[in-house]
């Protein structure tokens, strides 16, 4: 096992095959690294490759006699059952109240869905009489038994709080529930070379236009499908984004290159109201854009973990790399707080090619270095550093 390559048998719907290669097996690591769609996960210390029958057979052939298999861990599914009348009434009350408070449809849907296991668990009890300790005990039960993610934990807690605070009108401070510590993750980005390869791999005019527009203006996928023809302001050079996240209107930059492409697209497709329409009319679907992007990633061999939202992350990072003021990037992205935008500064490339050390600005130090030597040096000595 110590000197064997471990292949973790993927779940039937898993996107990738995960592989553990011991550090001592440098040749094998090099072979895996050269494979198409290979990727290294530093936090898990695992490699992965796209899950396909062809790749599975390739791994077995490449590492024949060096492989052991490990079964995937089974995750318990949260049981579902039909809710009783009282629980259904709770969901109706929650939906009505959140609708009146102008919550988005996606938030209402996710809260109602998250609350169902809670109502099922306490179906023999009066929800109005549950204590804070009982609610915390339920959340702990979901975490420990069903291994729900941090995101699911927060959605569950928000849904519970929404019912007690908005429907029952309870004091907010009474229902403070212990939340998971938020993990600090860096946004996934594509290099400009990957962006170029990805966009040029898309041949369909409509598909290329929507992906180019999302990247060029830093749009969310929900914002792209809600764009109207009249939201493209070519004279003033901006895109108007109505009712974005948080129900805030904003403007973003309109690239002259994208404008040229948009005009070709308009002549070819003649959209009537929505800028991007489906085959049967109406808004273009998010799933269609995601499918287009996934095909482009596979065709261009870009980072296989990239999503459509990665284009927005890449937009922000590339602007900062070009020296755009952080405040301008914040406005373009529609972030309420600059702290949200500052996360992109952590993924900028750090090297002496784009950042100068303060030491390099002191002429006296430069002269001191150039005249200091304990013995004669040649180019081989100098180039040995960092080779």
Which candidate in 207, 208, 250, 335 is catalytic?
335
Identify whether 318 is a catalytic site residue: no
Identify whether 220 is a catalytic site residue: yes
Helix-strand-coil split of the chain, %, nearest 5: 50, 10, 40
Rounded to whole angstroms, the Cα distance separating 334 from 223 reads 11
Measured over the CA atoms of residue 306, residue 311, residue 312 and residue 316, the dihedral's sign is positive
Which candidate in 16, 97, 226, 312 is catalytic?
312
Distances from the Cα of 96 to the Cα of 105, 113, 163, angstroms? 11, 15, 11
Which candidate in 245, 251, 294, 299 is catalytic?
245
Rounded to whole angstroms, the Cα distance separating 116 from 82 reads 9
Identify whether 105 is a catalytic site residue: no
Identify whether 335 is a catalytic site residue: yes
Identify whether 233 is a catalytic site residue: no
Which candidate in 228, 251, 294, 309 is catalytic?
309
Residue (of 157, 89, 97, 168) closest to 123 by Cα position: 89
Residue (of 197, 201, 205) closest to 262 by Cα position: 205
CB atoms within 10 A of CB 246: 10
Identify whether 344 is a catalytic site residue: yes
List Cβ<8 Å contacts ≥24 apart for 325-332: 331/250, 332/217, 332/218, 332/250, 332/252, 332/253
Which candidate in 97, 220, 313, 318 is catalytic?
220
**Beta bridge partners of residue 41, listed in sequence order:** 46
Which candidate in 111, 163, 284, 344 is catalytic?
344
Concatenating the DSSP letter of every residue in 234-301 gives TTTTEEEE-S-TTS--EEEE--HHHHHHHHHHHHHH--SSBSSB-TTSSBPPHHHHHHHHHHHHHHHT
As annotated, the active-site residues are 220, 245, 309, 312, 335, 344
């Amino acid at each position: 096992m110590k000197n064997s390559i471990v292949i973790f048998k993927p779940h039937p719907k898993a996107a990738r095959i995960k592989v553990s290669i011991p550090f001592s097996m440098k040749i094998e690591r090099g072979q895996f690294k050269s494979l198409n769609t290979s990727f290294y996960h530093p936090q898990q210390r695992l490699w992965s490759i796209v899950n396909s029958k062809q790749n599975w057979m390739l791994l077995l052939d490449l590492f024949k006699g060096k492989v052991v298999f490990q079964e995937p861990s089974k995750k318990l599914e949260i049981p579902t059952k039909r809710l009783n009348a009282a629980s259904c009434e709770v969901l109706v009350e929650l939906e009505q109240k959140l609708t009146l408070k102008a919550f988005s449809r996606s938030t209402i849907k996710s809260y109602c869905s998250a609350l169902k296991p809670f109502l099922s668990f306490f179906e023999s009890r009066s929800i109005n009489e549950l204590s804070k300790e009982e609610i915390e005990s339920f959340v702990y039960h979901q975490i420990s038994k069903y291994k729900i993610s941090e995101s699911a934990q927060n959605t569950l807690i928000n849904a519970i709080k929404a019912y007690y605070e908005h429907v029952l009108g309870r004091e907010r401070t009474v229902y403070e529930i212990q939340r998971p510590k938020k993990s600090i993750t860096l946004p996934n980005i594509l290099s400009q070379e990957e962006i170029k390869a990805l966009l040029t791999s898309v041949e369909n005019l409509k598909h290329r236009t929507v992906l180019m527009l999302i990247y060029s203006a830093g749009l969310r996928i929900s914002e792209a499908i809600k764009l109207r023809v009249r939201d493209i302001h070519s004279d003033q050079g901006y895109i108007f984004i109505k009712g974005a996240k948080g129900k805030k209107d904003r403007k973003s930059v309109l690239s002259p290159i994208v404008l040229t492409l948009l005009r070709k697209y308009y002549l070819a497709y003649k959209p009537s109201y929505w800028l991007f329409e489906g085959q049967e009319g109406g808004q273009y679907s998010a799933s269609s854009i995601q499918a287009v992007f996934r095909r482009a990633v596979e065709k261009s061999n870009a980072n296989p973990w990239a999503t459509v939202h990665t284009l927005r992350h890449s937009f922000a990072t590339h602007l900062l790399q070009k020296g755009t003021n952080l405040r301008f990037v914040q406005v373009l992205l529609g972030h309420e707080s600059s702290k949200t935008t500052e996360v992109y500064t952590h993924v900028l490339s750090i090297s002496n090619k784009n950042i100068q050390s303060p030491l390099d600005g002191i002429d006296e130090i430069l002269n001191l270095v150039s005249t200091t030597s304990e013995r004669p040096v040649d180019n081989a000595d100098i180039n040995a550093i960092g080779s």
